[in-house]
Structure 1
Amino acid sequence: MNNSSTEQMGCVSAFEKVAGRNPGQTAIIDGDRTISYGDMQASIERRAGILLKAGLKPGYRVALIAESSADYLVTALAVWRSGGVLVTVYPSSGSGDLEYAIDTSDPALIVTSESVDRALVTPAARNAPIVDIADFRVTEVRHNASPNPEGLREPLAMICFSSGTTSRPKAIMLSATVIHNCADTYGEVWHLGPEDTAIICLPMAWLYGLASTSLAVLLRGGTVVVVRRARPEMIAPAIEKHRATFLAGVTATFGKLAQFAEQNNSGHPAFPSLRLCISGGEPRNEAAFSRWQAQTGLPVLDAYCASECLPLVTYDPISTPTPRQGSAGKLVPRSKLKVLDAEGHEVPAGQIGEAYSSGPGLMLGYWRDEEQTQAAITEDGWYRTKDLVRVDEDGFVYVVGRLSDVIIRGGTNISPAEVERVLQQHPSVAEAAVVGIADDIYGQRVVAAIVPQVGSTLDDDELKAFTAARLSSYKVPSQFIAVDALPVNLTTGKVSRRDVAALLSAEASQSSS
């Protein structure tokens, strides 16, 4: 294993300073549990001690496959305090994605919550001990895990997995500097402080839920309220009970809460304690956000970045309290953005090009994938986002499209190719093309165009069950539409996703009318 300096603990050291200044302040509310900063610091130290006693050495990887909780945050900080590398894995991952994440990261220890099926974890564990996050009975770790990559510019602190813009999620390597810069910058730009109480309904396995929000709040001395599901019937009471001031989510979060508020309209603005609402993970959905503002009187501000280089763009609620239509906001401090045309030249303000980003939030690379790393990061240290953006004269950034065909559903990236490969395994399917269709709640929904095998008919329920057994639930198409043939590009002969999307949008509209 290569060394990981305990002097570069980033968020651990920053949290310790906050806890030392105000140990009695409430750090986390998780159901019936209320944990002060002092108690949280003691828990972090206790768990770090357990890890070290069990044999965890600097650079050893610890996979955390668990639902969001107070224990999640304590465990993450404890892993870093002990010099370990945190590997975050979505607990809702399908068996294929779960096995891939564990096998790829090859951890020395796996920590799960009771909601995770151990039968899915054990086959890929390579005899790494598996412990429950609540009781944390760690007595040993595996010592023969593969070493971390050499030659990184900083020690490895975290591996997180993209939600899948390719056939398999990418394993993104981050340093302590990257994680701390993310939390610290958002705390600065959003003006978070001890008076803030934040509803965290995002999965902490996602950097948006862990660093961008939870750690951003904690490093500013605020209070994190854990809500395990982004359901309005769970979020709304939590906002009201704890007089929350900050809510972050994806488009669907605000769309569903707007519906909830409409159905429970008291004649007064909903959720009056909120001062800051942030949406991220997908382009702005002005229709959903308008419904939210009609019920609350509060706009939804935006954040835009990639896990490979973050943070990048958001709104300062003090200097710009009202978002510009369609804009994700402005560049944050210390980060860099340039917009290039296909020839690599910077485009003038107002023109569209591909976004390149850089700064202290730049990833170390992709885990054991030098080819992908070199394709994503230029020789002079810029990350290719593969997003098409424009920046206006005032510096506001607009995300107008993507170079890839990724579908973004509720802030989660989905690879059409992965879904298509599964569909093509079904005996009634001759060809399949999967695209994202506009959706008022989720931003996009997954829809499949199917050319049936000769003599076969499509059974929607059967196809849904077939894909659900092989994919994570958010990747399963919501609709299967039979077509005679898939539209193709006349020059290349490849399936034209743009034409498929237009065809399916028309079909979906007709079927719903």
Structure 2
Amino acid sequence: MTAPLTLSQAQGRTDTPLIEQTIGQFFDAMAARQGAREALVCRHQGLRYTYAELHTEVRRLASALLGLGLQKGDRIGIWSHNNAEWVLMQFATAQVGLVLVNINPAYRTSEVEYALNKVGCKALVTMARFKTSDYAGMLQQLGRARLPQLQHIFWIDTPGQGEDIAGMQRFSALMASGDAQDARIDVVAATLANTDPINIQFTSGTTGFPKGATLTHRNILNNGFFIGECMQLTPEDRLCIPVPLYHCFGMVLGNLACVTHGATIVYPNDGFDPLLVLETVQAERCTGLHGVPTMFIAELDHPRFAEFDLSTLRTGIMAGSPCPIEVMKRVVSDMHLSQITIAYGMTETSPVSCQSSTATPLEKRVATVGQVQPHLEVKIVHPETGAVVPVGQSGELCTRGYSVMHGYWGDAEKTREAIDAEGWMHTGDLATMDAEGYVNIVGRIKDMVIRGGENIYPREIEEFLYRHPQVQDVQVVGVPDARYGEELCAWIIAKPGTQPTEDDIRAFCKGQIAHYKVPRYIRFVPGFPMTVTGKIQKFKIRDEMKNSLGLTEEKTA
């Protein structure tokens, strides 16, 4: 029994060593050891791969990418919902040291243009379209002149599917051009270090532009491994992953947690559908299920929920936003997820820094985000002085260790703002720690809004809305929402002599910013509540909206 803490600082266990291989080296060894076991099931595509089959296809794609003339360190984007091609890209790029750039499928023209140019993508793999999103059309609209570094665009097709798309090549043709026995793969792999950048994920920026968090093999491979350890994953486990792969939740907490334990990755669909999740868990006899609270709520409340046998479930992760306590109890009792864990982190820390384990008592699981992960340190400091605060006192949560990102791509200044001289990542989250080291997130220093697991910085939306010709000033805040946790609200001061409408503002947003960034509530006001020094009081905007709309804060874990 360890002595109770008096200060809010804790270190993770170190009895299990860190993995010091590249993702490619680790995957090679796992495929050799677990070749006959099922590695990947894509229900919506009707595809199944053993570890040996997946390894062969990954090498075929790696060969094809080298055949394009791409070299170690070059960036290649993936703009897609969940599918087998995403997984092939994740592991093939890692095999030959290409940097995979995750593009949010909700991005629209201005956002994808910024992201691809910011990191200098030479190639892009994309869905042609998905529901109302016409990815091919958006890229054609942008044209090569606005994407000067982009040399190759591949669209994800099914063999024999449809017409060709002008200016794009088929992904199936790219795969066909590769050779799994290509000797160049191993030559390049031998030159890689596990500290090389391998992945860029964009986080919404307070400056109005997303920042490219750059992660290494060592960052995400180890995080995936220790996440799987918390869940007690084994090769017998089958993890249902309805969360998106472009986000760390799908790519690290899902794919890498499975692959580091020889477990099976199961995708119920390309996008989230609660009925397909329930059907998949039953049909594939899944033992694990991931989701943000809104996903679990949608599954539990589905009218056909009682029809499905979910008795194979035991573990999984709920993360992305705070979980209502009653929902957690229902997940444990009605979905058989007695060993579900809670994870907390941020993209910049690969992402998880705190997690509950399968043995964490339920009351700790619903009231905290668990304890510090192995080989990491967390501390809670006074936001002004930087001093570590006593247990039970709130302050800013900071984390240090192997998981801290390489940096923001092409932005040394922002990197220095986030990571201090001693290597601590400052999260901007307010937290407390108890005497056993359990961490509870109590708020945010920054005014970030979390809508259904998506992190949104109001400043980015404000910067965009300022571009509307009839907007003089704008303030964006989050307000409580029973379904998504929070929704966006914009208060707008119109330019003199103009009378913009809510529909005008929404039409301006459409196709330019992701749907979840479009404010649900829009109010036109003569001014903002301010302090005597002229500082805008966002909390007063939030309180006024809560009162006028009759909104109440959800009680959350």
Q: What TM-score do you get using the length of structure 2 for normalisation?
A: 0.82
2:304 aligned residue? 264
Aligned to 1:330: 371
Map 1:233-272; keep pairs closer than 5 Å.
Answer: 233-260=275-302, 263-264=303-304, 266=306, 271-272=310-311
User: Secondary structure at the residue paired with 2:244?
Assistant: coil
CA distance in 2 between counterparts of 1:81 and 1:510 reads: 50
Q: Does 1:376 align with 2:392?
A: no
Superposed CA RMSD: 2.6
The residue aligned with 2:114 is: 100
Residues 258-407 of structure 1 aligned to structure 2 (within 5 Å)? 258-260=300-302, 263-264=303-304, 266=306, 271-290=310-329, 292-293=331-332, 295-296=334-335, 298=337, 301-309=341-349, 310-320=351-361, 323-341=364-382, 342-407=384-449
Return 220-229 or 476-485, whichever deviates more.
476-485
State yes or no: 1:228 paired with 2:281. Answer: no
Q: Provide, for residues 159-178 of structure 1, a one-character-per-residue CA deviation record: whole Å limited to 9, x for no partner.
A: 22114454111111111111
Deviation at residue 430 of structure 1 after TM alignment: 4.2
**Residue 510 and residue 303 in structure 1: after superposition, are their counterparts in 2 closer, same or farther (change >3 A)?**
closer
Supply the distance in 1 between the matched residues of 2:152 and 2:376 (Cα, whole angstroms): 39
Alignment of 1:62-77 (within 5 A): 62-77=76-91
Q: Which residue of 1 aligns with 2:527?
A: 485
Residue among 170, 173, 177 paired with 2:214? 173
Q: Is the 8 A contact 2:396 2:428 kept in 1?
A: yes
- Which piece of structure 1 moves more, 31-40 or 478-487? 478-487
**1:331 deviation in Å?**
0.8
Equivalent-residue separation in structure 1 for 2:471 and 2:535 (angstroms):
18
* Further displaced range: 26-35 or 297-306: 297-306
Give the aligned residue type for 1:111: V
- Aligned partner of 1:110 in structure 2 is 124
Correspondences of 1:52-201 after superposition (within 5 Å): 52-115=66-129, 116-117=135-136, 118-119=139-140, 122=143, 123-133=146-156, 134-135=171-172, 137=174, 154-201=195-242
Q: Residue 159 of structure 2 aligns with which residue?
A: none
Cα separation, 2, equivalents of 1:257 and 1:39: 32
Could you tell me whether the CA contact under 8 Å between 2:38 and 2:264 is conserved in 1?
yes
2:541 — aligned with what? Answer: 500
Structure 1 unmatched ranges of 5 or more: 1-6, 141-151
Question: Is the deviation greater in 207-216 or in 83-92?
Answer: 83-92
What are the Cα deviations for residues 154-209 of structure 1, in whole angstroms up to 9, with x where unaligned? Answer: 32222221144541111111111111111111111111111211111122111121
Cα deviation 1:233-285 (Å, max 9, x = unaligned): 2222112221212111212111222221xx2353x897332211312222333
Alignment partners' CA distance in 1, 2:317 and 2:525: 40
Secondary structure of 1:45's counterpart equals helix
CA shift, 1:380, in A, is 1.3
Q: Distance in 2 between matches of 1:180 and 1:366?
A: 19
Secondary structure of the equivalent of 1:64?
A: strand
One-letter code aligned to 1:33: L
Q: Is the 8 A contact 1:323 1:329 kept in 2?
A: yes
The answer to which of 240-249 and 40-49 deviates more is 240-249
Higher mean C-alpha deviation, range 246-255 or range 279-288? 279-288
8 Å contact 2:341–2:355 — kept in the other structure? yes
Q: Does 1:440 align with 2:482?
A: yes
TM-score if structure 1 supplies the norm length? 0.89
- Give 1:431 deviation, angstroms: 3.4
Contact 1:257 1:292 in 2 (8 A): no
Distance in 1 between the 2:94 and 2:449 partners? 33
CA distance 1:295–1:166, change in 2 (3 Å)? farther
Q: Distance in 1 between matches of 2:441 and 2:65?
A: 43
CA distance in 1, matches of 2:34, 2:499: 66
What secondary structure does 2:174 align onto?
A: coil
Aligned residue identity for 2:347: S
Distance 1:489 1:35 in 2: 61
Q: SS of 2:198's equivalent?
A: strand
Q: 1:272 to 1:481 in 2, by over 3 A?
A: farther
Shift of the 236–120 alpha-carbon distance from structure 1 to 2, 3 Å rule, reads farther
Correspondence 1:17 to 2:29: yes
Cα distance in 2 for partners of 1:323, 1:270 equals 28
SS in structure 2 at match of 1:379? coil
Give the partner amino acid of 1:208. F
What's the secondary structure of 1:137's corresponding residue? helix
**Equivalents in 2 of 1:355, 1:265: separation in Å?**
38
Confirm or deny: 8 A CA contact 1:165 1:414 kept in the other structure: no
Bigger CA drift: 319-328 or 96-105?
319-328
**CA distance in 1: counterparts of 2:297 and 2:495, whole angstroms:** 39
Letter in 1 for 2:85: D
CA distance in 1, matches of 2:371, 2:314: 19
Higher relative contact order (CA 8 A, sep 6+): 2
> 2:3 — aligned with what?
none
Conservation of the 8 A alpha-carbon contact between 1:351 and 1:391:
yes
Q: Deviation string for 1:135-156 (max 9, x for gaps)?
A: 152779xxxxxxxxxxx99322
3-state DSSP class of the match of 2:289? strand
State whether residues 185 and 311 of structure 1, in contact with CA within 8 Å, keep that contact through their aligned partners in structure 2. Answer: no
Contact in 1 for aligned 2:342/2:365 (Cα 8 Å): no
**1:40 is matched with which residue?**
54
Note if contact 1:432-1:449 (Cα within 8 Å) is conserved in structure 2. yes
After TM superposition, the structure 1 stretch with the greater mean CA deviation from structure 2, 324-333 or 361-370, is: 324-333
1:321–1:135 distance in 2 versus 1, CA, 3 Å: farther
* Contact 1:66–1:113 (Cα < 8 Å) also in 2: yes
- Structure 1 SS opposite 2:113: helix
User: Structure 1's 119 and 285: CA in aligned 2 closer, same or farther, altered over 3 A?
Assistant: farther
Helix, strand or coil for the counterpart of 1:436?
strand
Q: Is the 8 A contact 1:311 1:335 kept in 2?
A: no
Distance 1:248 1:62, change over 3 A: same
Aligned positions, number: 490
User: Could you tell me how far apart the structure 1 residues matched to 2:318 and 2:148 are?
Assistant: 35
* Per-residue deviation, 1:231: 2.2
- The residue identity in structure 2 corresponding to 1:62 is I
Percent of paired sites with the same residue: 28
Letter matched to residue 129 of structure 1: H
From the superposition, tell whether residues 205 and 259 of structure 1 become closer, same or farther in structure 2 (CA, over 3 Å): same
Aligned counterparts of 1:510 and 1:391: Cα–Cα separation in 2: 29
> What SS does the aligned partner of 1:393 have?
coil
Tell which deviates more after alignment, 434-443 or 398-407: 434-443
- Asked if the contact 2:450–2:485 (Cα under 8 Å) also holds between the matched residues in 1, the reply is yes
Query: Structure 1 residues 22 and 298 mapped into 2: Cα distance closer, same or farther (>3 Å)?
Result: closer
